[in-house]
Amino acid sequence: MVVYSVKDPEFAPYGKVLEGYDTSELIAAMKTIPLPETGTAYEPGIKALEDCRIFSCLRDRAYGGMPVQIGMCWGHNTRLNCLEYHRDSEINIGEGDFILLLAKAEDIIDGKLDTSRVKAFRAPAGAAVEVYETSLHYAPCQVDGEGFRVAVVLPLGTNTEKPDIRIQNEEDKWLWARNKWLIAHPESSEAADGAYVGLVGENIDIA
């Protein structure tokens, strides 16, 4: 598939690159965390990252003073597997270059999304990349065989314990964690664990 840059005009409907943020200290902190041998890892909040000076800048400027967390997704991945969204933007900052596989919320029709609607965008190391609320996304993909480390900035509490709700509409079926709605491909481990299966078509593999 075509891999665009987050600096290309094609990225504009999905997000934007934020200017004026010094990510060097954050990147150094990310590098101290070892990669898993296989697969990916994710933590919603990591103290070593939140202790960086950029934390207050992102909280007060990018999120307008709202409580936030800085966690990380890191490891090895080349597949789509799932798509998720939150009720807010997410900011991603890579220790190295990484690729985002994205779609639009309006592409979900009757609880299904065709993966042919997914586009790929490469983000350069150190860039603060905002992914809009209406952009479906999931774990980043690596650009080589060395894996990836991507800081994930979100409102405090996101991706933690799922609230106990009674299903009353279609979207309620997709709630997978706090402030996290997810639709899975049938080939994914998330689907095997009971996630809502809503992706149809190829489970994209950028490798």
Which residue type, as a one-letter code, is found at position 166? R
At 72, which amino acid appears? M
Domain membership flag for residue 29: yes
CATH number at 111 reads 2.60.120
Contact 97, 143 (CB under 8 A): yes
Maximum alpha-carbon separation in the chain: 45
H helices present in the chain, as ranges: 24-31, 47-50, 54-57, 189-192
Closest CA to 99 of 82, 115, 119, 114: 119
CA distance 146 to 103: 26
Percent of all residues in the chain with a pLDDT value above 70, rounded to a whole number: 100
Half-sphere exposure of 138 (CA within 13 A, CB side): 24
Q: Is residue 189 part of a domain?
A: no
Count of the separate structural domains present in the chain = 1
Mark 178-199 as b/e (b = at least 16 C-beta within 10 Å).
ebbbbbbbeebebbeeebbbbb
Q: Note the pLDDT of residue 154.
A: 98
Q: Is the pTM of this model over 0.85?
A: yes
- With beta carbons less than 8 A apart as the criterion, state whether 15 and 62 touch: no
119 in a domain, yes or no?
yes
The answer as to whether 193 is a domain residue is: no
In a domain, 179, yes or no: no
- Per-residue confidence (pLDDT) for residue 99, from 0 to 100: 98
Residue 30 to residues 13, 79, 191, 197: CA-CA distances in angstroms? 29, 23, 30, 33
**DSSP letter assigned to residue 163:** P
- The pLDDT assigned to 134 comes to 98
Q: Is residue 107 part of a domain?
A: yes
Range of the domain at 54: 3-78+89-159
Q: What is the pLDDT of residues 35-90, one digit of tens each?
A: 999 999 999 999 999 999 999 999 999 999 999 999 999 999 999 999 999 999 99
Instruction: Output the pLDDT for position 163.
Output: 97
**Residue 69 pLDDT:** 98
Residue 6: band (very low, low, confident or very high) from pLDDT cuts 50, 70, 90: very high
Are the beta carbons of 190 and 81 closer than 8 angstroms? yes
Average pLDDT, rounded, for the chain: 98
pLDDT of residue 164: 97
What is residue 50's predicted lDDT score, i.e. its pLDDT? 98
pLDDT of 142-188, one tens digit each? 999 899 999 999 999 999 999 999 999 999 999 999 999 999 999 99
Q: Which two tokens stand for residue 169?
A: 């509409």
- On whether residue 83 sits in a domain, the answer given is no
Domain-embedded: residue 202: no
